[in-house]
Chain A
Amino acid sequence: MAQKRQLIVHEDAKSPIAEAYRTMRTNIQFAKVDSDLRVIMFTSAGPGEGKSTTTANTAVAMAQAGKKVIIVDCDLRKPVQHKIFGKRNRGVTNILVEDRSVADLIQETGIDNLQMLPSGPIPPNPSELLGSAKMRDIIDCLKGLADIVIIDAPPTVAVTDACVLAASVDGILLVLGAGEIRPEMAQKAKELLLKANGHILGVILNKVEIEEEHAYYYYYYGNEKKTK
């Protein structure tokens, strides 16, 4: 079951999955009413829950809604965003280590309104880099460049990286692989993020099994739209 990393929202905008992302997009917009929601971090409890794919697709969905979106790959251990969008991997670590300017490294994705900042080469000390003052500067800078900044962070329970970033973002979305994640793991992830003063917007349930009758409905609806 090799993960097909695909931007389904972009490639097949009529598919039920794309529809699910669009629904989610709306939900995120209403998730935080009291204050601005500009910087959103995506993380998961453990590896392999489909976090990066979900992040990329959500970013695409938001861009499609007309918002100016920048996606930042802060998974400095196992970066994949540049692969998903098929871009050169020069980004966050280059800024942090080599003093390059943010604007230099932001790349266009080829999708309207969506730009990206890859992770850059894998550093030996990712947690320290992400916790530095410079990292906060980068985020602030990005806020100035786009309506919404989406951060792809590593799994929470495995490494502390996500917790280091937690306080610097406006909201956190926890991606959980349905039928894969054990309740204790998820609870642990929530606990860690709350301890790090993170604001958890909610959970994204990924890989949800569709019951057959629902799937039929989805498909029927989708196909009908296509034929029109």
Chain B
Amino acid sequence: MDETTLDLRDIIKTLKKKRKLIIGTFLLFVSLAVVVSFLIPPTYEAETAIRVKQPKGLASSLLSDLPTGNPMGTKQLMSTYAEIIKSRTVVQEVIDKTQADKNEIPTYENMLKRITTQPVKDTEILNVKIQAGSPEEAQLVANTLIEVFLGRMTALVRGEQSTVKEFIGQRLKDSKAELEQAEAILQKYKEEQKVVDPSQESKALLDKVAGIDKLAAENRVALAASQAKLASTRQQLGSQHQGVVADNALIQQYKAKLTELEIELVSLSANYTDQHPQVVAIQAAIKETKAMLAAEIGRVVNAEAPSINPIYQGLLQSQIQAQAEIAVAGAQKQAIDQIIQEGSQEVAKLPAKEQGLIKVARDANVAQEIYIMLAKRYEEARISEVMEPTDVQIIDKAIAPENPIKPKKVLNVVIAAILGLFVGTGIAFFTEYINKTIRTAEDVKQYLDLPVIGSIPDFDSDTSSHNTSWVTRATELFKTKTGHKA
């Protein structure tokens, strides 16, 4: 076989010769696209926008917040909320609420296909789009979805907070009893020993230990709060996902550092007030370490259990945080106990009567301190429980869309037209290639090596159609073509 050369003239010739085929394919594609576009039932899309804020405030006050404005945090939070929106509980409820009157109630998977969530770049806005057969339905489903989602978020937060509230409430009751008892003892002691006020010396000593007593009280409350949190997350997690342990070297390091800092804070507090620069510095360091610990835990949970439902991921994260807090608080308690021990030795040097007074006075002080703090926490938890979660806000409610988004008639037809031209041309060249025939004097020379004595023009093309327009010619050829097929 000789090398086949592609000549522009040959190409044009082929195109001319096969124009009926190309035009036919083109028209077929276009008409098919038009028919299909009109047959496909239209789909409408309603859009809502919600704002997802970084969590702040009471709900997560147990541990210091992550540094706010962290874009990674926002992104992660957006995906978490997007997943919650698409979760089975939420979507199923939407189906129950909006699709109950349908002949064919869609399944969760089918409904999921109609929901699109899309974060708007560089903002805290999450767009939620719903597709449906009618504008009204799209609007209804979109608004119901957001409603159900917000309800679900509230329930999730409240569930957590109510466990915490209950736990702290129990402690508060105990603490109140203890406080009453301690005050009664103090009163009784004062009456029995006939002392109204401690001596000057005792008073100084009492003031000195008051700081450390306050720290001890804080420590106990923190411990209680962490335990409450742990209990709450454990309860919600159930027995599932116990396998994940976010306990790597870095977390251990942060834990150790946090413990160290807390103990240092305790020993400083024994001698200095809260305003002392060294105390302030340590407190800042503690805050920073806590944030880093929280970030690291979040990272590890994400890495080790990425497939788990984001709600569970969040719970898991709080659980591990609570565990870390309990460990730190435990270490802190030991340090405080030691300082209190030292304080008691000083107290032992005072007269017996004074000693007794200081002891009962301190008990009463500590009990009061604890009670106040617990009461504060309890109040916080109570407010959080009834509060609407403010970290999700509805920016735009869905409105009924005017025009369907699918089928895109013009686009379909344009695509079909282009495709038709391509396919038609492709088929033209392909058939031309397959049906290789002798056509010209060059072909004769190439295949037969014989001279061409004469070239007789085609009778039919000659007699009929040279002076007619190509349109009539095309239709004529079309007719003969279909006639052949019939």
Contact = CB atoms under 8 A, between A and B. Distances in A.
Interface of A: 1, 4, 6, 8, 15-17, 20-21, 23-24, 27-28, 31, 50, 54, 57-58, 173-174, 176, 178-183, 186-187, 190, 200-212, 215-216, 218-219
Nearest to B461: A209
Nearest to B12: A211
Contact of A212 (B447, B452, B466): B466
B448 interface: yes
Contacts of B457: 16-17, 20, 207-210, 215, 218
Interface residues of B, number: 29
B456 A207 contact: yes
Interface in B7-30: 13, 17
Interface of chain A, helix or strand or loop or mixed? mixed
A87 to B, nearest CB: 22
Interface of B: 13, 17, 435-441, 443-444, 447-448, 450-462, 466-467, 480
A133 B447 CA distance: 35
Contacts of A179: 437-439
Contacts of A173: 453
Contact of A204 (B435, B439, B454, B466): B454
12 contacts: A8-B459, A16-B457, A21-B454, A24-B456, A27-B453, A182-B438, A190-B450, A203-B452, A207-B458, A212-B466, A215-B457, A215-B466
Given A209-B17, A212-B466, A219-B466, A183 B454 contact: no
A211 B13 CA distance: 9
Contacts of A205: 438, 440-441, 444, 452, 454-456
Given A4-B459, A179-B439, A210-B461, A186 B453 contact: no
Contacts of A178: 437-440, 455, 458
B438 A208 contact: no
A211 B267 CA distance: 105
A20 B454 contact: yes
Nearest to A23: B454
Name which of A21, A190, A200, A209 has the most chain B CB atoms within 10 A of its CB: A209
Contacts of A212: 466
Name which of B447, B460, B466, B480 has the most chain A CB atoms within 10 A of its CB: B447
